[in-house]
Chain A
């Protein structure tokens, strides 16, 4: 027999009880829950990272290989075939940086959206803040983006001989792109519990933003009469901002960058609120 583990700390009789009540009609965001369960969040995120590269021959190096391949193809298609100007920098680096911001958004959205369904048994049998599942999935995708950012800096140092000081702002743009994607993915995860359609719609929508965003072409290549409509896509401002921070030069429009930042935060908040509205029914419906 194993030795008895130390007894649990006795709750003091005066300590207030935890009260379980019927779900509120209008819930609050309860973002503090994320920090309170930091340990679990970290464990779930590291599980996602470990699982992604388990039983792969190349392991974590896929994090670097994927964006390099994508940038090579995009740079070639837009630079050589479609002959779009890359505003001074090489096509490859230009596309790489664009792809970096775009994939921070995409990965956060597509990995967090199926997270509840993938963990259906957990959701229906154990209590923990369910919001942690899509948040952990988004967080694990941010690791890829961070490595991509390092690679981008290395390429810039190598091809341009240096990076501007504004590089310090680059992580902010990556995080905003991740926040935008996470907002979408968190709402998607909540909706997918009842409506499996989300699994089919979201990936397609996200893929299409590759062409609707200035990943491989500059904003200046968009005809002027469509530009204000085009800039409604918050990814345009975020990609622009990331390029400015890494490669220098002037972003297409500062107002666009500001708008994108506000939209990303708002999208995240909206996604979490949508999640909260549906949270109460997850265990019964999933």
Chain B
């Protein structure tokens, strides 16, 4: 079996939807419209959900699809899974496609767990024999053994999700589509799902397409990613690059709350080294400033490190850490902030920088500076989950703020 055989090829796929306007919803309306103008095409605006999308996927590849809501991610999955036909273009598939667009799809609340496993399996394209062969595995994975003869309507939502994922994850299809399913379920279950996905793509050579808004899950599960925007592919490449690009694009824009010509913000000097940190690495930031005609005396710089949800996870008040700095006129200065292994949770972090002169006079306040990314590897790469981090860890870490000697060009 050659591992670089194509599994899927999407060639120039577009999808247009007719928006409401000319459409009739009752037979009467349709008839009267037709009687008035039998041959005219019904008016209505077209919405282009996908525009000329092309990519290829090899066997065993795990592709993540990222993009804002409405970017066309779900439409693309629907076309690949044949739920809806494309308006133009073609998709070539080598092998069966199994989809996990919504885990509970295919369940009927009145039927028992056992009946639903067979029903859902059949709906997803498995034969009775195939389902019977993996039935015990499905049940073991879902952990609902005791409730197999209970109608699914009496299940907790967690049990339904587990059973639903279990059926789909044991489909014997060569290509598996997964859309935002891991948002449900607890951490332990998410972990098991990720493990299973890894098994499928790396271990069994299945091809996986994974859509999620959780970038860390995409990074953990995929090797390659595609960024969709407005129905077009804007980037296709290794997962960390695409995710980074997407996050930069979608993050809150860097903006100034206070700006003066006394002190100018020149950005994070060593941003390129902060692209992929490990959770246990030290945080070393070089903040660039330049002074105006008068220079600065007794300057303090406060710093807030914020996560993707705009929550502050580390806040440094410089007066507690270091004496005030004096800066000459018309000079470029780097201020080095060093936090020893802050153990940040994997994710994308932003900075708020706040500089003030004596008397708490604010001379610079810049927000949402794209600062650093802590990679998922150390967390999700292993089978066992590290204890869930529920609050920012405050280890006894040491912070230094100093004027940097080594000036980067």
Enumerate chain B interface residues (CB-CB to A < 8 A). 1-2, 5-6, 9, 17, 24-28, 30, 59, 78-97, 99, 101-102, 105-106, 108, 110-111, 115, 118-119, 122-125, 127-128, 134, 137, 140-141, 170, 172-174, 192, 195, 199, 203-206, 383
Assuming the contacts A1-B195, A17-B9, A20-B79, asked whether A125 and B105 have C-beta atoms less than 8 A apart, the reply is: yes
Chain B residues whose CB sits within 8 angstroms of the CB of A23 once the complex forms = 85
**Contact status A11-B90, CB under 8 Å:** no
Chain A residues whose CB sits within 8 angstroms of the CB of B82 once the complex forms = 20, 127
Chain B residues whose CB sits within 8 angstroms of the CB of A122 once the complex forms = 105-106, 123
Please, how many angstroms separate the alpha-carbon atoms of A140 and B140 in the complex? 32
* Residues 183-222 of A contacting B (Cβ, < 8 Å): 191, 194-198
9 interchain residue pairs of minimum CB distance = A127-B82, A17-B92, A43-B122, A20-B91, A283-B84, A23-B85, A10-B1, A18-B93, A40-B122
Given contacts A20-B90, A125-B101, A197-B28, 6 further A-B contacts (CB under 8 A): A5-B204, A17-B9, A18-B92, A20-B92, A125-B102, A194-B25
Assuming the contacts A50-B115, A128-B125, asked whether A21 and B90 have C-beta atoms less than 8 A apart, the reply is: yes
Chain B residues whose CB sits within 8 angstroms of the CB of A21 once the complex forms = 85-86, 90
**Contact status A126-B206, CB under 8 Å:** no
Please, how many angstroms separate the alpha-carbon atoms of A16 and B64 in the complex? 26
Residue A57 lies at the interface, judged by CB distance under 8 Å to chain B? no
A-B CB pair tally, cutoff 8 Å = 139
**Contact status B25-A195, CB under 8 Å:** yes
Please, how many angstroms separate the alpha-carbon atoms of A280 and B105 in the complex? 20
Chain B residues whose CB sits within 8 angstroms of the CB of A15 once the complex forms = 94
Residue A51 lies at the interface, judged by CB distance under 8 Å to chain B? yes
**Interface digits, A41-60 against B, CB 8 Å rule (1 contact, 0 not)?**
00110010011001100000
Chain A residues whose CB sits within 8 angstroms of the CB of B85 once the complex forms = 20-23, 280
Chain B residues whose CB sits within 8 angstroms of the CB of A39 once the complex forms = 122, 127-128
Chain B residues whose CB sits within 8 angstroms of the CB of A198 once the complex forms = 27
* Minimum distance in angstroms from A4 CB to a CB of chain B: 6
Please, how many angstroms separate the alpha-carbon atoms of A284 and B27 in the complex? 18
**Interface digits, A1-16 against B, CB 8 Å rule (1 contact, 0 not)?**
1111111111101010
Residue A19 lies at the interface, judged by CB distance under 8 Å to chain B? yes
Closest to A1 in B: B195
**Contact status B128-A5, CB under 8 Å:** no
Please, how many angstroms separate the alpha-carbon atoms of A2 and B166 in the complex? 11
**Contact status A51-B128, CB under 8 Å:** no
**Contact status B86-A22, CB under 8 Å:** yes
Residue A124 lies at the interface, judged by CB distance under 8 Å to chain B? yes
**Contact status B110-A19, CB under 8 Å:** no
Chain B residues whose CB sits within 8 angstroms of the CB of A280 once the complex forms = 84-85
Assuming the contacts A8-B206, A18-B93, A125-B102, asked whether A43 and B88 have C-beta atoms less than 8 A apart, the reply is: no
